[in-house]
Amino acid sequence: MITALTSMGITVAIFVGLAVVLAVAEKKLADYGECTVSINDGSQVFSRKGGVSLLSALYDKKIFIPSACGGKGSCGYCKVTVESGGGPILPTETPFMSRAELRGGVRLACQLKVKEDLTIKLPEDLLAVKEYKARVSLARELTYDIREVSFKLEDPAEISHRPGQYIQIMAPGPDGPVFRAYSISSPSSQHDLVQLIVRLVPGGIASTYIHSLKEGDEVTFTGPYGEFRLSENPDVEIICAGGGAGMAPISCIIHSIYEKWPERKCQLYFGCRSTRDVFYLEQFKELEKKHPNFKVHYALSEPREDDQWEGDTGFIHLSVDKWMDDKAHKQAFLCGPPPMIEAVTEVLKTKNLPDESIFYDKF
Ligand SMILES: Cc1cc2nc3c(=O)[nH]c(=O)nc-3n(C[C@H](O)[C@H](O)[C@H](O)COP(=O)(O)OP(=O)(O)OC[C@H]3O[C@@H](n4cnc5c(N)ncnc54)[C@H](O)[C@@H]3O)c2cc1C
Ligand code: FES
């Protein structure tokens, strides 16, 4: 019995010893020294002590990469092309990559640790992304869980964004600041103000923070980000479809369109559960009167008995199927929960919209 206990003690001691050796070795090995990061054929080069993620190394140099999940490896937004260095791609990155991206050396900046010199390529658009300080100028509730908040820019005092782009706001989290993506709802002609439409996610860090902001409060955000590209050809008809806070980029797109092309064709499809979730309908009805080529369709998927609703009922993709024709020259912008985006995309395909004409942000 004593012999068995002694040998068990020796085994435990060996494992503890090994663990200590491994920890010390890792600490030693983790000293990667100074590493150089070269961007776009050396147009920007900086040195950084190795061991941090490429996302943080770039952030420290005020180079802001989209990172909607805040670096948790769950959004797949922080893609950069790595031309040399960086080692093999990790299993946490591959689910987000197409075959072409895998072949082209695309990596997730939040997963790739800087351990050696790196040569990377970034879209020029991203190098223009800035950090902004702004103050809340107006905040109002649109529904029981959706809030519209406007921020007057202070430093820099102006922003330039395309319709449908988003910013990443910094919110205080329990373990330090976190960043979350929010689409800009104000038209792109408005340079001194950024308006957001934010749904409160129960227990959510950033949405709770934004819902608590009062007029005069200061915020920090970076932007603009996003791949939405509204066609400049006014003959291309625009289809917008979404639900909830997905209204934000849609509102920006529609108001930007009618400031520039009063005759352009555009259709809005907005899905709500009941009238409790309806907002901006009156505003869009007014726009419809002013611009006869604008058509608005709201649909309720779960109308309540006391909802006096004469519009469409059912999921919003059914309204798209019902009202939209299948003639060519259309672009679609979809924003809302993933099942809604997927159902609308299927309908758009039956209406002959090619993949490259469908833009979406799922949230
Ligand atoms: C490109 C882009 C644009 C976006 N634009 C907007 C916008 O205009 N308005 C807007 O309100 N949101 C928008 N979002 C979503 C937003 O970035 C946040 O994910 C959302 O507000 C939740 O963040 P949080 O910090 O409050 O919650 P977290 O603290 O991140 O999450 C708390 C909990 O809620 C869960 N959760 C997270 N997000 C959701 C969700 N959407 N629904 C249900 N549960 C969730 C998490 O899994 C977690 O369990 C956008 C996202 C992307 C990627
Ligand atoms: S920041 Fe979301 S996956 Fe990298």
Q: Where are the domains of the chain?
A: 34-126, 129-225, 237-362
Are 130 and 222 spatial neighbours (Cβ–Cβ below 8 Å)? yes
Ligand 2 centre distance from Cα of residue 78 (Å): 5
Ligand 1 centre distance from Cα of residue 76 (Å): 15
Residue with tokens 């102006």: 158
Fold classification of 237-362 (topology level)? Rossmann fold (3.40.50)
Ligand 2 shell residues, CB under 6 Å: 67-69, 71-78, 108, 110
Crossing angle, helix 281-290 and helix 247-260, to 10 degrees? Answer: 20
Are 294 and 258 spatial neighbours (Cβ–Cβ below 8 Å)? yes
Phi, psi dihedral angles at 117 (to 5 degrees): -60, 140
Distance from chain centroid for Cα 136: 21
**Residue type, position 44, single letter:** Q
Q: In the prediction, which pLDDT does 28 show?
A: 56
**Exposed, middle or buried, 68 (CB in 10 Å: 0-12/13-18/19+)?**
buried
Residue in 59, 74, 225 to alter for ligand 2 test, most ligand atoms within 8 A of Cβ: 74
Ligand 2 centre distance from Cα of residue 314 (Å): 34
Q: For each of the chain's 363 residues, which pLDDT tens digit applies?
A: 555 555 655 655 565 455 455 555 555 556 789 999 999 999 999 999 999 999 999 999 999 999 988 889 999 999 999 999 999 999 999 999 999 999 999 999 999 999 999 999 999 989 999 999 999 999 999 999 999 999 999 999 999 999 999 999 999 999 889 999 999 999 999 999 999 999 999 999 999 999 999 999 999 999 999 989 999 999 999 999 999 999 999 999 999 999 999 999 999 999 999 999 999 999 999 999 999 999 999 999 999 999 999 999 999 999 999 999 998 799 999 999 999 999 999 999 999 999 999 999 988
Fold classification of 129-225 (topology level)? Elongation Factor Tu (Ef-tu); domain 3 (2.40.30)
Ligand 1 centre distance from Cα of residue 41 (Å): 36
CATH code given to domain 34-126: 3.10.20.30
Crossing angle, helix 338-350 and helix 316-323, to 10 degrees? Answer: 20
Q: In the prediction, which pLDDT does 9 show?
A: 58
Atom of ligand 1 nearest to the CA of 203: 32
Ligand 1 shell residues, CB under 6 Å: 68, 166, 180-183, 196-199, 201, 203-208, 245, 248, 361, 363
Name the residue at shortest CA distance from atom 45 of ligand 1: 201
Question: Rounded to an integer, what distance in angstroms lies between the CA atom of residue 163 and that of residue 254?
Answer: 9
Q: In the prediction, which pLDDT does 27 show?
A: 54
**Residue type, position 179, single letter:** F
- Say whether the peptide bond before residue 249 is cis (omega within 30 degrees of 0): no
What pTM was computed for the model? 0.89
Q: In the prediction, which pLDDT does 70 show?
A: 84
Name the residue at shortest CA distance from atom 41 of ligand 1: 363
Residue in 167, 178, 180, 250 to alter for ligand 1 test, most ligand atoms within 8 A of Cβ: 180
3-class SS of residue 137: strand
Tell me how long the chain is. 363
